[in-house]
Structure 1
Amino acid sequence: MSTVLRNFLELSYSELEDLNLEAKEQRRNRVDAGVIQEARLKYLTDTPGIKAVTVLFSDLEGRLHMLDYDKKFLLKSWDNLTFDGSSIRGFTAQRESDLRLALDWSAFYWTPSDVFGAGKVLVFGEVIDKGGAPYSADIRGLLKQFSNKLHKEHGYTLNAANEIEGFLFEGADAERIFHDTGEFKYVNTGGYYHSLPGDPLRTFIDTSAEVQRAMGFENEKDHPEVAPSQFEINYSYGEVVAAADQIQLYKLICRQIATQMGMTASFLPKPVVGVNGSGMHTNISITKNKKNLFWDANGEEKISKFAWQFVDRILTHGNDICLLLNASVNSYRRLDPHFEAPNQIKASATDRGSMVRIPIGNEKSARVEVRSVGPDANPYMVLYSIFKSGLDGDTAKIKNLRQAERYLPDNIYTALDDFRSSKWTTELLGEDVKARYADLKQASADRCPRLLGTIVKVPEVQFHHDVYNQLLWGQF
């Protein structure tokens, strides 16, 4: 089809980066929501090259959903965008299906046209129920409420940076056709930090990193990881909701770039047995008046008493929240001590088998690293459960809590039992949302062999919430 008559918005990567960094700074400085809304609506009105606005939201399990609104329609109807919630797993029942999307104008992104299409911009949405209140199963909304409340009442800013590992496999849709092929094929076997310029893995990493920079990620480093065909692209700290949004965008970007290359970016925690799995190490800190509350030059491992109390509460609730941090059948393959698996419920500055690690830091970078998180978990659920547990949870009266011989579950059934029996997870999510989440995880588990065994089974990929082949799910 001819493009001669089209005149859709296409910006250079440097122009995109400038716009996205400006928006990121507004968000970081908590510019009034009404001011940002007015500016975004004016921009959309005054920019003829924009044809559609892509609105993004996540379901209870963390799958990213996207729908495009025609710009002219959105400008007339932005305050009344409805959708059918009964079609979203973990959302409303059919009898009460109507939900609405409110636009979080601060979470607005300009996108590269060669990746997302010309004439489009992205904005994250907040799910609203029929009565106009934040929808209880929209965990992004729950995280945002929690973060705003802490900032208003205590002056806290919750910060997070996630190290998200993934695999690059040959062929498009390698996960969705795994039930036919029964294997994943590497595109590179070089290993840690080793990939020649121009080979498929390096090209994929370079291209994904370029897109991230253009979208204001403020990249730090990128490289092949330990396992064959494994990658990691790191970027800077962000306020907690923005950080969770960036996880969703990171995975979206990687999947899109891989698809354009005829390959698959996979965030299964352990797609191949016998090599290191993929994690999402979650680095967190809390600041007040720009002061890092986790830093203490004279403290144990140079972190504060406040930070250690935070760690103790995380360790106390390690088993309670394990299902939220390790959300799939496949994720329990990763908690294998033969591959530096963080399956021990303890804290350490050096032992990478610990659930919580205390990295070397300074006044600016002092932080706590929760290592047991899988890359397929709902990022909003991960950050909400970690911060809520660390700040408001209990502290167990266990002798030598930080080094006790305690382990995370090695299978999803034990994790489900711990989650269901925990009073803390009811306080975290409420009875209704907790039950919905447990039912979704139970349904996936029941479609898979109860014992993991030594090979990846077809059902743990086929019925994985991130892969989710709707046709095959319905044929079970």
Structure 2
Amino acid sequence: MLSEFRDFLELSYGELEDLNLAAKEQRRNRVAADVIREERLKYLTDEKRIKAVTVLFSDLEGRLHMLDYDKKFLVKSYDNLTFDGSSIRGFTAQRESDLRLGIDWSAFYWVPADVFGAGKVMVFGEVIDKNGTTYSADIRGVLKSFSQELFDKQGYTLNAANEIEGFLFEGIDAERSYHETGSFEYVNKGGYYHSLPGDPLREFIDTTAEVQRAMGFENEKDHPEVAPSQFEINYTYGEVVAAADQIQLYKLICRQVATQMGMTASFLPKPVVGVNGSGMHTNVSITKGGKNLFWDPKGEEKISKLAWQFTDRILTHGNDICLLLNASVNAYRRLDPHFEAPNQIKASATDRGSMVRIPIGNEKSARVEVRSVGPDANPYLVLYSIFKSGLHGETSRIKNLRQAERYLPDNVYTALENFRGAEWTTTLLGEDVKGRYADLKQASADRCARLLGTIVKAPEVQFHHDVYNQLLWNNF
């Protein structure tokens, strides 16, 4: 069909940025949900050039799912959007397949037409159980409830900023064809901070950064990373649920831009042995009434007693929650003591091999950085487990806890054993969801070589939760 017959919404990147920043400010200011809902519904009704609304949600492992609803249908039926939960790994059994999607109208995004198609907008959904409550395996909803409860009872705002590394490889389906090719092909071998303007990696980074900026990410810096063909595109911190949403959008944008360029953006933690892996360093802080509660100019490393207590609890539960922060077989290749791997259950201002680092900060930026997080982990699970452990976990009486000789697991089986055996993970997730998550990880692990060895094996890519599809899963 000729394009002149189509009159679908296409906005400039500047217009998109203005709209997305205004929506972000509403969310930051906690404007009442019913006020935002009515505003969005009116906009969708009045804006005739919108054809569809893409509703986003994540499964238990953190894989992003998207449903396109006709705009007119969604406006009429937004409060009764059903879907088959039995088709989503970790959600329901087949006999309990009916779930509903609620709309989180505060998490609404205008998107570039040249990347996501003309006439579309995006919004995050909330999975609703039959009884009308948050579905227990929808960790986004669990995190949102936890965050809101802390704000209501203690005035706490939970903040996060994530530094997400990834690789850019030749070919559109580099991960899904890995079991056939046995290797990934770099698009660039320049190295840290060094990539010539206009080369494929720099062009990818520039384009992705432009899309992020248009979607209200408030970019800070971007650059090639240490390993060949590796990248990192940084943006500002946000309230915890918005921050987790942005991780999902970040990876979606990267994958979409890469595909349009004939390449693959990969967030496997260690796709190539012998070079640095990819991490998702997770910076967290808590504010109350605009004051950063992690800052204390007279405290040790200039962070507060609360921040140190938070850190001590993270270290105490480091092995318990390792499977949540390092969610795949491949993730344990990254926890190799070489290549700056953060595999020591320690806290340090300087040692980048420590699980927790205390960066240099000030009244605004004082924070705790959890470094042992893989970029393929469920961001909602990561932030929920870090904040709940840091605030409500136990503190071990291990002598010299912050510098004790303790290490994270170097394989998924030990991590699974720790996770299943920990009382704390039951407190975090409940028996049912904990069991579902562990079973999913066990199923993938059992299809992979038990010993990692020195090369990446095809199954650890083929059966990775971000990579597999039904065809690949059945090819066993």
Both proteins in one fold, TM over 0.5: yes
Instruction: Tell me by how many angstroms 1:352 deviates.
Output: 0.1
Instruction: Tell me by how many angstroms 1:320 deviates.
Output: 0.1
Question: For residues 3-402 of structure 1, what are the structure 2 equivalents within 5 Å?
Answer: 3-402=3-402
Q: What SS class does the counterpart of residue 337 from structure 1 fall into?
A: coil
**Distance in 1 (alpha carbons) for counterparts of 2:472 and 2:233:** 32
Write the deviation string for residues 402-461 of structure 1: whole angstroms up to 9, x where unpaired.
000000000000000000000000000000000000000000000000000000000000
**Distance in 1 (alpha carbons) for counterparts of 2:284 and 2:295:** 12
> For residue 126 of structure 1, what is the amino acid of its counterpart?
E
> For residue 395 of structure 2, what is the amino acid of its counterpart?
T
**Distance in 1 (alpha carbons) for counterparts of 2:198 and 2:270:** 27
**Distance in 2 (alpha carbons) for counterparts of 1:401 and 1:4:** 67
> For residue 92 of structure 1, what is the amino acid of its counterpart?
T
Write the deviation string for residues 200-241 of structure 1: whole angstroms up to 9, x where unpaired.
000000000000000000000000000000000000010000
> For residue 240 of structure 1, what is the amino acid of its counterpart?
V
**Distance in 2 (alpha carbons) for counterparts of 1:131 and 1:308:** 40
Instruction: Tell me by how many angstroms 1:141 deviates.
Output: 0.2
Q: What SS class does the counterpart of residue 430 from structure 1 fall into?
A: helix
> For residue 363 of structure 2, what is the amino acid of its counterpart?
E
**Distance in 1 (alpha carbons) for counterparts of 2:396 and 2:345:** 12
> For residue 341 of structure 2, what is the amino acid of its counterpart?
A
**Distance in 1 (alpha carbons) for counterparts of 2:472 and 2:75:** 38
Instruction: Tell me by how many angstroms 1:60 deviates.
Output: 0.1
**Distance in 1 (alpha carbons) for counterparts of 2:475 and 2:164:** 32
**Distance in 1 (alpha carbons) for counterparts of 2:286 and 2:234:** 20
| Matching residue of 1:432 | 432
**Distance in 2 (alpha carbons) for counterparts of 1:220 and 1:96:** 45
Consecutive unaligned residues in structure 2, runs of 5 or more: none
Identity across the alignment (%): 86
> For residue 37 of structure 1, what is the amino acid of its counterpart?
R
Number of aligned residue pairs: give it: 476
Instruction: Tell me by how many angstroms 1:324 deviates.
Output: 0.0
**Distance in 1 (alpha carbons) for counterparts of 2:354 and 2:165:** 18
Q: What SS class does the counterpart of residue 383 from structure 1 fall into?
A: helix
**Distance in 2 (alpha carbons) for counterparts of 1:435 and 1:469:** 22
**Distance in 1 (alpha carbons) for counterparts of 2:351 and 2:342:** 9
**Distance in 2 (alpha carbons) for counterparts of 1:438 and 1:473:** 18
**Distance in 1 (alpha carbons) for counterparts of 2:430 and 2:302:** 36
> For residue 406 of structure 2, what is the amino acid of its counterpart?
R
Instruction: Tell me by how many angstroms 1:149 deviates.
Output: 0.1
**Distance in 1 (alpha carbons) for counterparts of 2:457 and 2:205:** 28
**Distance in 2 (alpha carbons) for counterparts of 1:63 and 1:366:** 31
Q: What SS class does the counterpart of residue 125 from structure 1 fall into?
A: strand
Over aligned residue pairs, what C-alpha RMSD do you find? 0.4
Instruction: Tell me by how many angstroms 1:470 deviates.
Output: 1.6
**Distance in 2 (alpha carbons) for counterparts of 1:204 and 1:475:** 32
Q: What SS class does the counterpart of residue 4 from structure 2 fall into?
A: coil
Superposition misfits of 4+ residues, deviation over 6 angstroms:
none
**Distance in 2 (alpha carbons) for counterparts of 1:434 and 1:453:** 29
Instruction: Tell me by how many angstroms 1:131 deviates.
Output: 1.2
Q: What SS class does the counterpart of residue 264 from structure 1 fall into?
A: strand
Instruction: Tell me by how many angstroms 1:469 deviates.
Output: 2.6
Instruction: Tell me by how many angstroms 1:130 deviates.
Output: 1.0
**Distance in 2 (alpha carbons) for counterparts of 1:472 and 1:26:** 42
**Distance in 1 (alpha carbons) for counterparts of 2:111 and 2:466:** 23
Instruction: Tell me by how many angstroms 1:475 deviates.
Output: 2.9
> For residue 284 of structure 1, what is the amino acid of its counterpart?
V
> For residue 317 of structure 1, what is the amino acid of its counterpart?
H
**Distance in 1 (alpha carbons) for counterparts of 2:332 and 2:315:** 18
> For residue 215 of structure 1, what is the amino acid of its counterpart?
M
Q: What SS class does the counterpart of residue 338 from structure 2 fall into?
A: helix
| Matching residue of 2:410 | 410
> For residue 167 of structure 1, what is the amino acid of its counterpart?
F
